[in-house]
Amino acid sequence: EDQVTQSPEALRLQEGESSSLNCSYTVSGLRGLFWYRQDPGKGPEFLFTLYSAGEEKEKERLKATLTKKESFLHITAPKPEDSATYLCAVQAGRDDKIIFGKGTRLHILP
Amino acid sequence: IAGITQAPTSQILAAGRRMTLRCTQDMRHNAMYWYRQDLGLGLRLIHYSNTAGTTGKGEVPDGYSVSRANTDDFPLTLASAVPSQTSVYFCASSDSIGREAFFGQGTRLTVV
């Protein structure tokens, strides 16, 4: 069964304390992996798409990486405004179905 | 402002009633999606449309129907609402299946 698992479920960091969020997947025929940010009461906002192992994308304090089994979202020197839920999604299979993980709730303390 | 508009923002609905959630996009995207988001279960795909005139079933389609008469609109209908359909519903669109999706602000639906 195709699965996407994100860890940890929740993470509290001090401002400036770097860390990584994990998204592991077991799917047949990965076509793409997406990262989104979701603020409370709002819809998810697109961050990155990764297509192949070894690929990396960066945006401000965020960097996403991809291997054959997992993706990491690295957050460098985070600020309180980086607090949000981060969602990972994969597109896989012949029917290009998209499966979302349950997300990691990130809280950055000032 | 370009994007996706959902209506209503929130709704309390009596069980057994029919309800249509509206979704309109002005980005001329080919693909559109409806998701529901529940605590502990994450986002789950209800229905999708690759292009105007076509629709497909997602992970949790039972009790819901959609139509795609044109590029911009993708309404979601609950024929006879049940309490288990209480959720936050998100409409999204993308240039094509497999590209990054843009989400609406959500509709919070409570079925009592």
Q: Which residues on A lie below 8 Å from B106 (Cβ)?
A: 41-43
pLDDT tens figures, A82-103: 999 999 999 987 777 889 999 9
Give CA–CA dist A53/B78, Å, rounded.
41
Q: Which of A98, A99, A102, A105 to probe the B interface (max B CBs under 10 A)?
A: A98
Model confidence over B57-79: pLDDT tens digits? 998 999 999 999 999 999 999 99
Residue-wise pLDDT tens digits, A24-41: 999 888 889 999 999 999
Tokens of B33: 């999606």
Residues on chain B touching A89 (C-beta within 8 angstroms): 43
Chain-centroid distance, C-alpha B77: 9
**How far off is chain B from A44, nearest CA to CA, in Å?**
6
CB contact under 8 A, B97 and A41: no
d(CA A82, CA A58): 15
Report whether A92 contacts A31 (CB < 8 A).
Answer: yes
CB A96 within 8 A of CB B30: no
Closest-CA residue of B relative to A103 is B42
Q: What is the mean pLDDT of residues A58-84?
A: 97
Give the pLDDT mean for A67-93: 95
Give the separation between CA B64 and CA A22, rounded to whole angstroms: 33
| % pLDDT > 70, chain B | 98
Q: Which residues contact residue B62 at a Cβ distance below 8 angstroms, ignoring those fewer than 6 apart?
A: none
